[in-house]
Structure 1
Amino acid sequence: MSFEGKTAWITGASSGIGAALAREWASRGANIILSGRDEARLADVAGTLQHESLVLPFDVRDDMAMQAATEQAIAWKGVDIFVANAGVSQRSAAVDTDMSVYREIIDIDLTAQIAATQALLPHVTARGSGHLLFISSIAGKVGVPMRTAYCAAKFGLVGYADALRAELSQLGISVHVVCPGSVATDVSRNALTADGSKRGRSDKVIDNGIDPAEAASRIVSAVEANQREIIVAEGMEEAMGELRRTPDQLLDQVAGMVAAGYMEKMKAEE
C-alpha cells in the first residue's frame, strides 16, 4: 500500500500523537489536513510537514463547525484517511469525581469522535475506499484506576469502531483501532481532575514513554499492513493489551455475518 498522493485528516493534530502522525504520513507522501482548537499551534505543525497541508481549526464538540470543516476537507482533496484522535484523559478516583467530568470526557473522547466520523461516512462510502482510525488506548481495553471516565469513553470508541468495521467490511473501507500505552505527550498534564480542572503535571511513566514519532511510525506501518487492532505499548502495558486483543477470527466472523446478508435481513424486519 502506498500513501503517496493520499489525503489524511487528523483531529487533535496540534501536538502529541496527532502531530507525529501528520509528520509521518507527510513523510510518506500524503497530503495532510490538520484539525484542533488552536490554529496557531496547528500552523506550527503544518510548517514542519514535507507535503501539502490544510489547517481546519474547530472544536470537536461544535457540530456546526465540524460539519463545515468536513465540507472544506472534502472540497480540498477528498479524504482517504481519517484519524479520530482528539481527546482528554483523567486522573481522579470515581468516588471523588463530579458527574460533569464524566460528561465532558465522554463528550470529547467518544460522542464528538462518532459525530465527526458520521459526518464523513457518506463521502468515504461513496468513494468505496479509505481508512478510518480511532485512537483509543490500552485504557480502552483494560479498566485502569483513576481513569473511569476515560476508560468508559475509550472502551465505547472501540465498540463503535468494531461495529462500524463490520458494517463497512463489504465496501472497501478499512477501520483501525489504535491502543497506545504510555507515549511521551502532554496527556497526563492536560488530564482532568475530580472537579474538572487540569492536572497541570505529568507522570513519570508518561515522560518515559514511547516517543510520539516512534508511535506514529508504528501506527502508520500497521495501517499499511491493514492491521485492524493496533497496540502501541511496551512492557506491562503491551502485555495487558495483548491479553485483551480481539482475535482476528472473531472480527472475521462478524464481517462474515454482514457478507451473508445480516444487515439486509435486519432492515427487512423493520
Structure 2
Amino acid sequence: MQKLIVVTGGTKGIGRAVVERFLQAGMRVVTCARSATDLLALSSELGQRYPETPVYTLAADLSQADDARRFVEFVRELEGEVEVLVNNTGGFEPGRLQDEPADGSQLRRMIDVNLYSAYDVTQGLLPEMIARRHGHIFMLCSTASITAYTNGGSYCVAKFALYGMTKVLRAELQEHNIRVTAILPGATLTASWEGADLPAERFMRPQDVAESIFAAYSLSPQAVVEELLMRPQLGDI
C-alpha cells in the first residue's frame, strides 16, 4: 500500500518546505491550512512541478477540535498508510505573561494552536500506526521549548508543553516501533519574521529544517533522532 506523509500547516514557511521535500522524494502528501485560497494556490503550483505525485488538501483550523477531527477523518479516508506525521501547525503572539489579558485568553489561544492541534491529530492517527508497528512522528517545537524568552509569554508556555508531550510520546511508543522526533528550530525566515529589520542571511531557511526532517526520517529503522536543535550560525536573534 502506498505511503502518506501528513504535514499540518503546509502552505507557508517550514510546513511548505517539508511538503516539497517529500514530494521531491516521490511521496504522496496530505496537508491542511486555515485558508482555502492558500491551499488552492499550493495545489496548483505543486501540481505543475510534481505532476506524478498528488497533494491532498483540506481547509481546517486545527486549533479547533472539530476541525482537527475532520482533518483526521479526511486522512483516514485516503488510500494509503500514514508513514510520517509532521505536526507543524503553530502560532506566535509576543508579550510578557504579566501583560497578557487577565482572562487567560492569550494563553488559551497559544495552547490551542501550538499544543492541542498536535495532540488531537496525533491521537487521531496514532491507533493505526500502533497497529502497524510503524511510523515516524515529528513535532515542530522551538528553541522557545527549552529557553524562556521574556517576550515569549504564553507562546513559550505552549512550546514547553509541546516539547514535554513529545518526550512522553517517545517514551511510550518505543515498544511499538514508532519513532518520535522533536524539532527545535531557532530563527527561521518565515512569515513570523515579516517586517524584521534584519538581512535574510541572519536566518535559517525553511528548507534547512525540511532537509533535516527528511534526513532524520531516512535513517535505518534501528536509529532515531530524538531531538534536533537548530540555530542560525550566528546564534539566536
Q: TM tier, shorter chain?
A: 0.7 to 0.9
Task: Report SS of the residue matched to 2:158.
Answer: helix
- The runs of at least 4 aligned residues of structure 1 exceeding 4 Å deviation read none
Counterpart CA distance in 2 for 1:207 and 1:39 is 32
Aligned residue in 2 for 1:234: 232
Provide the identity percentage.
26
1:74-223 equivalences in 2 (<5 Å): 74-76=76-78, 77-98=80-101, 99-189=104-194, 201-202=195-196, 204=198, 208-223=202-217
Across the aligned residues of Structure 1 and Structure 2, the Cα RMSD in angstroms comes to 1.9
CA drift of 1:78 comes to: 2.8
Counterpart CA distance in 2 for 1:123 and 1:39 is 28
TM-score by length of structure 2 reads 0.87
Unaligned runs of 5+ in 2: none
Aligned residue in 2 for 1:60: 62
After superposition, give the CA deviation of every residue in 1:111-169 in whole Å (9 maximum; x if it has no partner): 22211111111121112101111000011111122002111111111111111111110
- C-alpha change, 1:82 and 1:101, in structure 2 (3 Å) is same
User: Going by fraction, where is strand more abundant, 1 or 2?
Assistant: 2
Aligned residue in 2 for 1:257: none
Greater RCO, 1 or 2 (C-alpha within 8 Å, sep 6+):
2
CA drift of 1:12 comes to: 1.0
Preserved CA contact (<8 Å) 1:10 1:83? yes
CA drift of 1:42 comes to: 1.8
Aligned residue in 2 for 1:256: none
Quick check: which has more Rg, 1 or 2?
Answer: 1
CA drift of 1:53 comes to: 1.1
Counterpart CA distance in 2 for 1:89 and 1:48 is 27
Preserved CA contact (<8 Å) 1:222 1:230? no
CA drift of 1:74 comes to: 1.9
Unaligned runs of 5+ in 1: 190-200, 239-270
- In the alignment, which of 7, 10, 28 is matched to residue 4 of structure 2? 7
Counterpart CA distance in 2 for 1:169 and 1:222 is 16
Counterpart CA distance in 1 for 2:89 and 2:201 is 20
CA drift of 1:237 comes to: 4.1
After superposition, give the CA deviation of every residue in 1:178-201 in whole Å (9 maximum; x if it has no partner): 001111001244xxxxxxxxxxx4
Preserved CA contact (<8 Å) 2:68 2:117? no
Counterpart CA distance in 2 for 1:229 and 1:81 is 16
- C-alpha change, 1:221 and 1:173, in structure 2 (3 Å) is same
Task: Report SS of the residue matched to 2:26.
Answer: coil
- C-alpha change, 1:220 and 1:181, in structure 2 (3 Å) is same
Counterpart CA distance in 2 for 1:54 and 1:221 is 23
Preserved CA contact (<8 Å) 1:176 1:223? no
Aligned residue in 2 for 1:196: none
Q: Report how many aligned residue pairs link the two structures.
A: 223
- C-alpha change, 1:122 and 1:135, in structure 2 (3 Å) is same
After superposition, give the CA deviation of every residue in 1:209-240 in whole Å (9 maximum; x if it has no partner): 111122211221123233120122223647xx
Preserved CA contact (<8 Å) 1:183 1:207? no
What amino acid sits opposite 1:79 in the alignment? V
- C-alpha change, 1:62 and 1:44, in structure 2 (3 Å) is same
- C-alpha change, 1:236 and 1:42, in structure 2 (3 Å) is same
Counterpart CA distance in 2 for 1:237 and 1:174 is 29
TM-score by length of structure 1 reads 0.77
Counterpart CA distance in 1 for 2:201 and 2:126 is 36
After superposition, give the CA deviation of every residue in 1:47-80 in whole Å (9 maximum; x if it has no partner): 3432211012111023223222212212212311
- C-alpha change, 1:129 and 1:235, in structure 2 (3 Å) is same
What amino acid sits opposite 1:64 in the alignment? D
2:41 is aligned with 1:44:
yes
